[in-house]
Amino acid sequence: MQAVAKTFQGHAEQFLKLARRLLQLRVEDEGAVDDPVFLAINDPIGHVTEALLQWWYRQSLEDGQGLNDDLTSLLSG
């Protein structure tokens, strides 16, 4: 998603739908890794969040604009 977020044109609705589905997934903690830094770097939720922000940065942004409603609902859910 991160690679696609940087370049795709159109299809924002499908991109956001995919992000929503990925954010709803819950990865079971396997307990195999006790390194919180490793877990944070490899957390799928963080990867999706980064992709969403990369997509958002490509929009026509203005000072004081804030997040659009789609991103606000995805990131606050």
CA distances from 27 to 4, 31, 42, 43, 53 (A): 23, 11, 11, 9, 22
Q: Is the pTM for the entire model greater than 0.85?
A: no
Instruction: Please report where in the chains the tokens 């490899």 appear, as a residue.
Output: 42
> For residues 74 and 34, is the Cβ–Cβ distance under 8 A?
no
Write out pLDDT tens, residues 13-44. 999 999 999 888 766 555 566 777 887 777 88
Write out pLDDT tens, residues 57-70. 888 878 888 888 88
